[in-house]
Structures are given as C-alpha cells and as structure tokens.
Amino acid sequence: MDALRSFLSGRRLAIIGILLAIPFVFFGSSSFGTVFTNYGKVNGLTVSALDVNIAINTVTSRLQQIYGEEFNVDTLEEGLLNSLVRNEIISQKSLLYQAQQMELVNSEEEAKRLIMSEPSFQTDGRFNQDIFEATIRANGILPNEYIENVQNTSLVNDFLSAVSDSSFQIESELKKQIKLIEQERDIDFFKIDFNSLKSNINPTLESAVNFYEENKLLFMDEEKRSFNILSVNQDQFRDSVEVPDGFIDAEYQDYLNRINATAERRVSHIMIDVLNYDSREDAFEALISIQSKLGIDLTFEEAASQFSEDLISADFEGDLGFSSGDSFPPEFEEALDSMVVNETSEIIELDESFHIIKFTEENKETPKTKEIMGGQFIDELIEAESYALMLDLRDEIEDLLLNGSSVEAIANAVNQEIIVTNPTGYNDFSNYDSIRVKDFLYGIDFSSDFAEILELDNEVIVASVSEVIEPSVLPFDNVTDEVFDRLREDQANIEIMDLERSLIIAMDDESYVLENNSVLKDSFISVKRGSTLFPPDVLNNIFSSKVNSVNTQKTFNSDIYIFKVKKISEPSEDFINTIMSEYEDFSSSTSLVKLNLILEKEINKEIRDNIKNLNI
C-alpha cells in the first residue's frame, strides 16, 4: 500500500475530509479584540465576533498542524491571515446556509448535551455550570450565543456526514484505479550530483578576486542599530500588591457560594394527574394508596414505573434528570432543600397534579480547604492587580507618546530606567529572543524622532533608534570562503546545463562511455509509485512519462535526473482481485474527492457575502 499512500499525499479535501470542530478549541487560543460588532453577512447569515474568533483559531490550528506547534501567524505575509480567515468564515456560513435551505434541524437540547459532555466544562467527570459560564464570559461570549454556535456547528456536521455517507464507487472504477496505482516501470537514468560537480571546481585566486569586485553587493554586512529601550513588565509590580484584611475569608465564602449555586440534584417522581379523577380528593387518595406501598410492597422505582401517570418519566422509573435549582417546579426545589440523597418526600401538591419525589443523586463539587484555596486566591489577586498596575502605567506612557515625548523623557516622567543597546545587526541581536520584538525594533522608522510602543502579554516595550550604522562592503579577506563558494556554485550551474544537454543525447546512444565521476548511470526494474529509489518529484515525473521518451527533472538540492521509461507493467487481474480488500478505504476517499468537488461547485454558485471590518 506504499504506492497508495504516496498517491494520496498530494491533496487535502477542502470540505468533506474533516468535519467542523465544535468550538471547544476556541478557549485557550488567542482572541480577536476589536471595537467592531458588525462584520457583515454571508448568504444573509450575520457574521458575529464569535464567528471571527473561531475562524481565526481554526485557521491557526490548521497552520500549526502543517508547520508545527511553534508556528506563529504573525509570521504570515501582510493580509494573508485576513484572507484565510475570510475564506473560513465564508465556507462555514455557506455550509450552514445549505443545511438550513435543506430544512435540517438540530435542537438546542442536543447542543447543550454536547456542551455538557465536553471535558473542559467538567469537574470530576460531571458538567460544571460555573466553569462553563466563567470560561465563555472570559472570552466575551454570552451563554446563549455560544449554545447557538454549537447548535449551528453540529447542524453543519450532520449535513456533511449525510453527504459523505452518500458516496459510493463501483467495482470497475476501483479496479482501474488499482491498476494505475500498482503499475510498475523499468527505468534507465543518469543522475548529476550537483554538490559533487561543485566540489570538483577549483577557481583561481584571480578569478575569485574578480568575482568579488564585480559582485560587491553580495558581500555586505548587516545594517546595525542601537536602541533606547524602556521595558515595563508585569513582574515588577507583583511585590506592590497588598492583600486586604479579610480577603481570604471573603473569597472563600464566594467560592463556597459558587459551589452551592452550581450543585445539581437529580430527582425521580410519581405523579397523579388530577384530570384523570372525579375530584382532587380522589386523586389525592390514589397517591396516598401508592405511598403506603413504598418500601413494603414496592420500591420507589417499581411504583413509578407501574403507577406514575407521567408516562414519559415512568418509562425511566420516574427519572426527571438534574436541576441546578431552577429546572423543577418551585415546590420541588423547596422540598429538596430539606432532603438528603435517597430520601423520599411527602406528597407535593401542584395545581393539576400530586407528586412524591425522591432525591436520587447530587452532583456537587467537593470544596477544597481554606488553606489550599487561600494560596490560589492570593496568586489570582497578585496576577490581576499587577497586570492592572502595568496597564495603568502603559496608559500614562501612551499619553506621553501622543505628546511626542522621547524614550528618555518618558522614562524620567514615570520613574523607570532605560537601556541603550550596542549597535547590532538583526541576526546577532540578543537582548530579546522573540522574533516579534526583534521585528518591532528593526521596523522602527529611524528617520523619525518619535518613540514607538509594543504591547506583549505581560510586558510593554517603548523604543526608539539611537544610532544606525549603514551596511558596508566586507573586506575580501573576511569573505574569502564565501566568495569561492559562490564562484563554484555559479560555475557548477553553467557546467551542469552543458552536461545535461550531452546526457540527453547519450540516453539514446548505447555506445556512450561515462567518464564523469559526478554522474551516476543506472537502471531499475519494477519501480512502484511509492518507491524510495527516487525523490518524490522525480518519481512523479517518471509515472507521467511515456515509454522511450527522454525526460529531465531537477530536484530541490539542484541534482538533475535524465531518465527514460523502458517498460510499463500492469498488475494481473488475479493480483487485483487479491488486493481489492486493501483498497476499501481508498475507494471511499476517492469518491469523497469527486463528491467534494461537486459540493464546492454547487455551494460557490450561491455565495453572497459582504464581510467588512475584518482587520486582523
């Protein structure tokens, strides 16, 4: 199946390959801060700030999957992230529009179920309403807005699943594909090793000096800059934070109140419907009769199954599920306040029914001790207050910047120290390791006297350029090795073109005698698509070539292959039948490729968007 893996490695499905992520991954990722609340519409569907944030995080996640977890979207070309996010929003809104046009529905209850099953919102395996609300509100989102987004995302997933499940492929098509993928080829080829060719070139000192004189722009050092830098860091304010008297006691009480407010109680009930009887008294007597049997003739669950007139809950032994204090009738909630787990209530009277309830389960976080939580409260206070103090000083600095103050003047005004760096090129700058900070410093307009500011997560940097040393041509003695290397490379590029032309002719000359040690001549038989005998780009060219035609391919490291396909061998019918079962997943994937193209085409026909204010 190596050939299959190679064949599939080139294309990623745009829509169907991966279903949408329910936006739990939104949390913990960077959010898009903006003063705008209106981002336009796609096919009449409003684009919200939440849509923008989720699109940003989806794009970021995909890029990190491709380029690694360390990839930062700040390194993208200007405007590219904006374009990627815009396309992501259009794609998801268009899919939602299609699903709605097909009158597909997904209930709010289903969305809530998905949210409650998400581990990020759970404590000890149970949904925690407090954590849920705190998390989403910290990201500037209202609970109803978030639930609606999960509902829409789930709806789109159902739509995509239905489309993908409809794909199929007939056996004859699959056999043709297997025949193509399992094809083998016999190859004659020359390989010119560029580095070997380059290493055999020995330029004279005179030619090196001439090359240096004619190409001095290639041998210049970096521009060097020195900076005046004022850095305000959150850490410098931590020792200034004071803990108020009674702070821990007050925070601990709030902590206990939150636990109690989010506790969930599960209830089962036996219901008698007054409307089923001649009078309220008859209905009441019917429930008293059932009550007298509890614990003697029947368990509560058996009684609920046999006698409860709430037919839906009766099928589940009377279970009504959980309430966090506001889901059940007030009379139930009041009774529960004085009950313990597994206790049964007295008869509860409502307007049209009588009930006996059983407190079956409590979902409540076990509070940690004040000693344990006290340290956490203080850490949170110091974190919040030190950050606020840093922002206060930042605001003061920004006012001074707007008044045209220099870095030195700002430092004096806010009683902070500045550092003056030594003249250094970008690559050698070591005061900060962050690429973002280095890009900021070396992007400052040195022709201006104004300072500029950069805000990081826990630091504010104000800087100006104090000195610029323009690039200069390095002396020949300092770049001798580089001069010789560049000269060898230039000459090797000239020689390899001449050598390539001669080997193309030699490929059809059986009497040709190879006399160049930088060239390999060889033949392989039965080469498959997944072979490692050739680089991937060469292999692709080989399987795109006709028999007995001479072709060339340059690789990423400048080697050149000159090759001829001598023979093409296709697998036998018996062999194809033997391995067909191994291609079942491939059959599904190729069908999805075709289906995906059709779906994209149809959706794109109806896209109407006027997205605006998307300045990321």
Collapsing DSSP to helix, strand or coil, 359 comes out as strand
Is residue 77 located within the same domain as residue 153?
A: yes
pLDDT digits (tens, 9 = 90+) for 87-138: 888 888 888 888 887 777 777 778 787 888 888 888 777 777 777 777 777 6
Is residue 12 located within the same domain as residue 158?
A: yes
pLDDT at 509: 86
Predicted confidence band of residue 597 (pLDDT cuts 50, 70, 90)? low
Q: Can you tell me the distance from the alpha carbon of 595 to that of 162, in angstroms, rounded to the nearest whole number?
A: 12
Residue 20 pLDDT greater than 60, yes or no:
no
Of 312, 328, 363, the domain-final residue? 363
Asked whether residue 584 is assigned to any structural domain, the reply reads no
Q: Of 14 and 221, which is predicted with more confidence?
A: 221
Give percent above pLDDT 90 in the chain. Answer: 50
Asked whether residue 11 is assigned to any structural domain, the reply reads yes
Helix (H) or strand (E) holding 553: strand 550-554
Least confident of 180-184, 210-214, 545-549: 180-184
Report which residue type is found at 386: S
Provide the 8-state DSSP code for 343. -
Tokens at residue 60, please? 């970021």
Burial 237-263 (b: 16+ CB within 10 A, else e): beeeeeeeeeebeebbeebeebbeebb
Q: Can you tell me the distance from the alpha carbon of 407 to that of 386, in angstroms, rounded to the nearest whole number?
A: 23
Contacts for 132 with CB less than 8 Å, ≥ 6 apart: 115, 121, 143
| CB atoms inside a 10 Å sphere around CB 362 | 13
Phi-psi region of 415 (alpha: psi -120 to 50; beta: other; left: phi over 0): left
Is residue 453 within 8 Å of 398, Cβ to Cβ? Answer: yes
Is residue 29 located within the same domain as residue 60?
A: yes
Is residue 409 located within the same domain as residue 356?
A: no
pLDDT at 42: 82
From the number of C-beta atoms within 10 Å of its C-beta (0-12, 13-18, 19+), residue 168 rates as exposed
- Average the pLDDT over 25-51 and give the result: 62
Measure Cα distances from 353 to 86, 133, 273, 278, 357 in Å: 55, 35, 5, 13, 13
pLDDT at 355: 96
Q: Can you tell me the distance from the alpha carbon of 297 to that of 302, in angstroms, rounded to the nearest whole number?
A: 9
Is residue 11 located within the same domain as residue 33?
A: yes
| CB atoms inside a 10 Å sphere around CB 421 | 18
Tokens at residue 219, please? 């041998």
Look over the chain and give the mean of its residue pLDDT values, rounded to a whole number: 84
Is residue 403 located within the same domain as residue 319?
A: no
Asked whether residue 120 is assigned to any structural domain, the reply reads yes
Is residue 443 located within the same domain as residue 497?
A: no
Measure Cα distances from 228 to 224, 432, 441, 454, 455 in Å: 14, 14, 10, 14, 16
Asked whether residue 455 is assigned to any structural domain, the reply reads yes
Tokens at residue 412, please? 């004096």
Q: Which residues pair with 186 in a beta bridge?
A: 567
Measured between its terminal Cα atoms, the distance across the chain in Å is 43
Tokens at residue 10, please? 């080139």
Asked whether residue 247 is assigned to any structural domain, the reply reads no
Of 335, 363, 391, the domain-final residue? 363
pLDDT digits (tens, 9 = 90+) for 476-489: 999 999 999 999 99
pLDDT digits (tens, 9 = 90+) for 255-307: 998 888 778 889 999 999 999 999 999 999 999 999 999 989 899 999 999 99
Place of tokens 């913990």: 28
From the number of C-beta atoms within 10 Å of its C-beta (0-12, 13-18, 19+), residue 538 rates as buried
Residue 606 pLDDT greater than 80, yes or no:
no
How many domains, in total, are found in the chain? Answer: 4
Closest CA to 87 of 47, 127, 37, 31: 47
pLDDT digits (tens, 9 = 90+) for 141-199: 777 788 888 888 888 877 777 666 555 556 777 788 888 888 999 999 999 999 999 99
Tokens at residue 380, please? 């949170």
Asked whether residue 91 is assigned to any structural domain, the reply reads yes
From the number of C-beta atoms within 10 Å of its C-beta (0-12, 13-18, 19+), residue 541 rates as middle
Is residue 64 located within the same domain as residue 158?
A: yes
Cα angle vertex 260, ends 256, 263, to 5°?
A: 140
- Write the CATH number for 345: 3.10.50.40
Closest CA to 334 of 304, 357, 351: 357
For 67, what's the count of Cα atoms within 13 Å in the CB-facing half-sphere? 12
Measure Cα distances from 161 to 99, 127, 154, 164, 251 in Å: 11, 27, 10, 5, 47
- Write the CATH number for 126: 1.10.4030
Is residue 8 located within the same domain as residue 149?
A: yes
Top-ranked range on mean pLDDT: pick from 147-161, 229-243, 320-334, 506-520: 229-243
pLDDT digits (tens, 9 = 90+) for 347-394: 999 999 999 999 999 888 888 999 999 999 999 999 999 999 999 999
Q: Helices (DSSP H) in 340-479: which residue ranges? A: 370-402, 407-413, 435-442
Question: What sign does the dihedral 200-204-210-213 (CA atoms) show?
Answer: positive
Our separate counts of H helices and E strands in the chain read: 21, 16
Pairing assessment for the beta strands 459-469 and 224-233 based on DSSP bridges: antiparallel
Asked whether residue 249 is assigned to any structural domain, the reply reads no
Asked whether residue 252 is assigned to any structural domain, the reply reads no
Least confident of 450-459, 491-500, 593-602: 593-602
Is residue 23 located within the same domain as residue 153?
A: yes
Report which residue type is found at 217: L
Is residue 147 located within the same domain as residue 196?
A: no
Is residue 22 located within the same domain as residue 93?
A: yes
Cα angle vertex 540, ends 539, 546, to 5°?
A: 95
Tokens at residue 446, please? 């040195």
Tokens at residue 354, please? 């009588």
Of 406, 437, 469, the domain-final residue? 469
Q: Can you tell me the distance from the alpha carbon of 300 to that of 480, in angstroms, rounded to the nearest whole number?
A: 94
Instruction: Find the domain containing 333 and state its range.
Output: 264-363
